[in-house]
Amino acid sequence: MIRRWQAFVTRHTGLRAYLDAPGDGRRAPVVPARALLWALLAAYLVRDGAFHAVEALVRSPARRALGIRRPFGDDTVAYFTERLDVPTTRAALITAVRQAKRRKGFDDVVRIGLVLDGTTVGRCASVRCPWCHPIIVPHLTEAGERSAVGHVVGQHHKLSLLSVVGGVLPLPVDLEPYGPGDSELAASLRVLDRGVAALGPRFAQYVLGDGLYANAPFLHAAGDHGLRALVRLKANLPTLFAAAQARFEGTPPGGTFEDHGDRVEVWDADDFDPWEGLRWPTVRVLRYRQTHADGTVVEAYWLTDFSAHRVSSQTLYRLAKGRWTIENQGFNDSKTRYGLSHVPHHHANSLLIHWLLVVLTLTLERLFRLRYLHRGTHPPLAAMQLLRRFRLSLGQPAPETG
């Protein structure tokens, strides 16, 4: 199975040239870059990307299955990632996503979206890179309340992730770390600019974000890229939020429909005034109330510049729900399963390469499992089933990691 995956990645993802020349920055390397890259991707794929685990992999009989000639140590992996070229690695992710579209990976999707989201990863003891943020535990007052002062208990790292969403294939496109003094919003604007430029015009039709993105600079940036925006409306836009609540609450819904057994009611109006600084002529606001079978209710407000003539309330609801797809399948998957949160080697370039290769692996696993293996009418393999086959094909035991 690992051989089939390698053959798929080589032949069907547009990455052949990248695999041969991934941007090796070492002087006089002994171990070929290609071997190091395959070993890293395989280690991430079987969800054990610590560099000593990479070493264990290539010192085991699994090396043969991977087509790697000779073993190497974790220090070689560390040195390789310290010097691997970041733009080349980013370009590989873009190539994989563009190739997925070219191979009709999104053909059953009416609208392709981009999703921006931030997360915190990689806890460390001390400051070693420009993206280290101190983890501060506030001191308690005599009354047991949190005081304004605290002490630093370690460091962690913050990232903005850009993903493509639509159909069964949420795929990470790029990510951008940000240090103290920077912000998720600024990092997201940079990754959006870079991602849209790299994906090419008209790849996606809209961009999704949470309440953090409900501000004029972000909405204008989306518009400048030819994208519609759909962002969560919360109390951080008090005037618009109050106007929408006043309009919708206490009035019957404009529509009702079913979503996987849940009852969904929607309120939708496209004639709200823009706030000062927003250059939209009007703002459309959608409110939905989703009642689960057990009686629990989820309610949310969203704002958008999608035209009500072109995109129905129900479609808008479905697109907004894509936000949670990315929450579950973007960061959660890459953090809990693929080791995005680990710090294999606390060095700026190495860490950024680690993050990028984790999301590249996740993209390549999804394309392989959901598109390549899943041809025909049989249901796709679950991630866990495929993981077990990968581990067995490497001659490794298959622990149940859930």
Number of residues that bind Zn ion (CB under 5 A): 2
State the DSSP code for 379: P
Considering only 79-87, 123-131, 353-361, 393-401, which stretch makes contact with Zn ion by CB under 5 A? 123-131
Letter string b/e over residues 9-41, b meaning 16 or more CB atoms within 10 A of that residue's CB:
beebbbbeebbeebbbbeeeeebebbbbbbbbb
Check residue 121 for interaction with Zn ion (CB under 5 A).
Answer: no
Smallest distance from Zn ion to CB 351, Å: 6
Smallest distance from Zn ion to CB 128, Å: 5
Beta bridge partners of 155: 124, 134
Query: CA nearest 129: which of 353, 361, 325?
Result: 353
State the DSSP code for 299: E
Considering only 5-13, 98-106, 128-136, 200-208, which stretch makes contact with Zn ion by CB under 5 A? 128-136
State which residue, 58 or 129, has the beta carbon closest to Zn ion: 129
State which residue, 158 or 284, has the beta carbon closest to Zn ion: 158
Query: CA nearest 229: which of 323, 119, 161?
Result: 323
Within residues 212-231, the interface with Zn ion by CB under 5 A covers none
What gap in Å lies between CA 356 and CA 176, rounded to an integer? 9
State which residue, 161 or 204, has the beta carbon closest to Zn ion: 161
Q: At what angle do helices 184-199 and 86-102 cross, to 10 degrees?
A: 60
Span between the terminal Cα atoms of the chain, in Å: 20
Smallest distance from Zn ion to CB 154, Å: 10
Give DSSP secondary structure letters for 149-181. EEEEEEEEEEEEEEEEESTT--EEEEEEEE-TT
Smallest distance from Zn ion to CB 338, Å: 19
Smallest distance from Zn ion to CB 51, Å: 16
State which residue, 133 or 323, has the beta carbon closest to Zn ion: 133
Considering only 33-41, 91-99, 122-130, 237-245, which stretch makes contact with Zn ion by CB under 5 A? 122-130
> Which pair of structure tokens corresponds to residue 3?
């051989």
Within residues 146-165, the interface with Zn ion by CB under 5 A covers none
Beta bridge partners of 287: 267, 301
State which residue, 132 or 353, has the beta carbon closest to Zn ion: 132
Considering only 35-43, 56-64, 129-137, 299-307, which stretch makes contact with Zn ion by CB under 5 A? 129-137
State which residue, 7 or 152, has the beta carbon closest to Zn ion: 152
Smallest distance from Zn ion to CB 156, Å: 8
Smallest distance from Zn ion to CB 352, Å: 10
> Which pair of structure tokens corresponds to residue 381?
């393999």
State which residue, 101 or 345, has the beta carbon closest to Zn ion: 345
Q: Name the residue type at position 284.
A: R
State which residue, 218 or 355, has the beta carbon closest to Zn ion: 355
Within residues 9-48, the interface with Zn ion by CB under 5 A covers none
State the DSSP code for 143: T
Compute the 3-state secondary structure of the chain and give helix, strand, coil in percent, each to the nearest 5: 40, 25, 35
What gap in Å lies between CA 197 and CA 184, rounded to an integer? 20
Smallest distance from Zn ion to CB 50, Å: 17
Question: Given candidates 31, 97, 112, 129, which one binds Zn ion under the rule CB under 5 A?
Answer: 129
Considering only 40-48, 125-133, 243-251, 259-267, which stretch makes contact with Zn ion by CB under 5 A? 125-133
Tokens 């790029």 found at: 174
Question: Given candidates 35, 121, 132, 367, which one binds Zn ion under the rule CB under 5 A?
Answer: 132
State which residue, 33 or 343, has the beta carbon closest to Zn ion: 343
Tokens 């915190």 found at: 120
> Chain centroid to CA 294: how far?
31
Which residues bind to Zn ion, rule: CB under 5 A?
Answer: 129, 132
